[in-house]
């Protein structure tokens, strides 16, 4: 099996690449990543010398390059994670999201169409998000049958790429599967998303910018459990199916932030309440989705997946990882990081 994984130097992709390289020594794993601000080879340093692993630096928007690597490596299947992934950045620069998330996905699909023909022994696995379903009221859960209703440029670009995957499946008979997952947290997440940003800011005694009233709800899943779900769906998922992945783990932002502050005070041996003082309510994110919550019963019933760690365990491991990986954090927050985060217009 020659398996192409895109975006494998990023947050979720690095956990997926590591899992596959270790669990499947008989597969040849190719990691294609352009190494954007969010891609970092340090994330997969421990497996870079593995015999079944090859890193390919390239852009999914470069179809000539894609054609060359498809010719050379004859990929049997693709797990596609490469994307622009942060909602706030999509508000600042929507076109970048259209280019990578929509056009980049189509470029990959097109290579599969050209190289796979009618052969059914392939799989295009698209990693997507629950944000395509839009926003929930105070009750209800996103099911696989929930209609798409994206509100941010990020979620609109992911919704569009999901549609193109389906369209290529119907039109050109490319075998595909799609999973839509809730918010991930864990090691190696770039400190722009809520949990690593706030860990970093607490460490540096900087303010914790809470958007709007802080009563927005997200459903959090430990990244290693997402990677295990991806492994299961890749091997056992039914062609043309969609599976929702989530931890039945809803938190209002402000409750999660208070929990994080308490845990950080304990770990840093600071007085109780020290980190909470950094909380600053700021202007809301435009188009901010009120609530996401996943019904993950299909993947549980059909494939037997469920999260392996509780939120308390996952968060504890995550905080410890950031505390023990100061150099990683310093590296990714050096250079233009501070300038960028200082100028986000709604902060």
Applying CB under 6 A, which residues contact ligand NAD?
Answer: 6-7, 9-13, 33-36, 38-39, 59-61, 81-85, 100, 104, 127, 129, 158, 181, 183-184, 190
Cα–Cα dist 75/69, whole Å: 9
Known catalytic residue: 131? yes
Of 131, 162, 219, 295, which is the active-site residue? 131
Count of beta carbons in the 10 Å neighbourhood of residue 133:
25
| For ligand NAD, the closer CB: 169 or 247 | 247
Q: Is 183 in the site for ligand TYD (CB under 6 A)?
A: yes
Tell me how far, at minimum, the Cβ of 296 lies from ligand TYD, in Å: 17
**Stretch near ligand TYD under the rule CB under 6 A, chosen from 119-127, 136-144, 204-212, 222-230:** 204-212
Q: Which does 60 bind (CB under 5 to 8 A by kind): ligand NAD, ligand TYD, none?
A: ligand NAD
Q: Is 181 among the residues that bind ligand TYD (CB under 6 A)?
A: no
34, 20 Cβ separation under 8 angstroms: no
In angstroms, the first-to-last Cα distance of the chain is: 47
Q: Considering only residues 38-97, where is the footprint of ligand TYD by CB under 6 A?
A: 87
Q: ∠54-56-59 over CA atoms, to 5°?
A: 155
CA 70 – CA 30 distance, rounded (Å): 11
User: Residue 124, Cβ neighbours under 10 Å: how many?
Assistant: 26
The residue with tokens 């999660």 is: 256
Q: Which does 210 bind (CB under 5 to 8 A by kind): ligand NAD, ligand TYD, none?
A: ligand TYD
Tell me the number of residues near ligand TYD by CB under 6 A.
Answer: 12
Residue 4 touches which of ligand NAD, ligand TYD, none (Cβ within 5-8 Å per kind) = none
For ligand TYD, the closer CB: 75 or 341 = 341
Report d(CA 297, CA 148) in Å as an integer: 19
Which of ligand TYD, ligand NAD, none does residue 197 bind (CB under 5 to 8 Å by kind)? Answer: ligand TYD
- Does 197 participate in binding ligand TYD (rule CB under 6 A)? yes
Q: Is 158 in the site for ligand TYD (CB under 6 A)?
A: no
Asked if 154 is an active-site residue, the reply is: yes
| Contact call for residue 196 and ligand TYD (CB under 6 A) | no
CB of 65 to ligand TYD, least distance (A): 29
Distance of closest approach, residue 74 Cβ to ligand NAD, in angstroms: 20
Residue placing its CB nearer to ligand TYD in the complex, 41 or 96: 96
Q: Which two tokens stand for residue 323?
A: 């505390």
Q: Which of 210, 229, 296, 319 binds ligand TYD (CB under 6 A)?
A: 210
Catalytic residue among 30, 125, 154, 292: 154
Query: What residue ranges bind ligand TYD (CB under 6 A)?
Result: 87, 183, 193-194, 197, 209-211, 216, 218, 253, 285
Active site residues: 130-131, 154
């Amino acid at each position: 099996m020659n398996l192409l994984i895109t975006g494998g130097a990023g947050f979720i992709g690095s956990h997926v690449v590591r899992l596959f390289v270790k669990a499947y020594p008989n597969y040849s794993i190719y990691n294609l990543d352009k190494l954007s601000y969010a891609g970092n080879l340090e994330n997969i340093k421990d497996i870079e010398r593995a015999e079944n692993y090859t890193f390919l630096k390239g852009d999914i928007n470069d179809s000539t390059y894609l054609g060359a690597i498809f010719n050379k490596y004859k990929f049997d299947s693709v797990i596609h994670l490469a994307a622009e992934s942060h909602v706030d950045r999509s508000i600042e620069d929507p076109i970048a999201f259209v280019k990578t998330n929509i056009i980049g996905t189509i470029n990959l699909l097109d290579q599969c169409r050209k190289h796979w023909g009618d052969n059914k022994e392939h799989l295009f696995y698209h990693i997507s998000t629950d944000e395509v379903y839009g926003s929930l009221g105070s009750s209800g859960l996103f099911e696989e049958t929930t209609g798409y209703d994206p509100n941010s440029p990020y979620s609109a670009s992911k919704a569009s790429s999901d549609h193109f995957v389906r369209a290529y499946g119907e039109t050109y008979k490319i075998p595909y599967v799609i999973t839509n997952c809730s918010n991930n947290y864990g090691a190696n997440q770039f400190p722009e998303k809520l949990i690593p940003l706030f860990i970093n800011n607490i460490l540096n005694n900087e303010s914790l910018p809470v958007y709007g009233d802080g009563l927005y709800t997200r459903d959090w899943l430990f990244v290693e459990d997402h990677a295990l779900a991806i492994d299961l769906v890749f091997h056992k998922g039914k062609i043309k199916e969609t599976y929702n992945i989530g931890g039945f783990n809803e938190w209002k932002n402000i409750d999660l932030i208070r929990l994080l502050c308490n845990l950080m005070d304990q770990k840093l041996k600071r007085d109780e309440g020290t980190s909470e003082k950094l909380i600053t309510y700021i202007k809301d994110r435009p188009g901010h989705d009120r609530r996401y919550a996943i019904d993950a019963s299909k993947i549980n019933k059909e494939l037997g997946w469920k999260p392996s760690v509780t939120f308390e365990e996952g968060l504890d491991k995550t905080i410890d990882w950031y505390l023990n990986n100061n150099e990683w954090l310093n590296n990714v927050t050096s250079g233009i990081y501070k300038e960028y985060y200082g100028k986000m217009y709604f902060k």
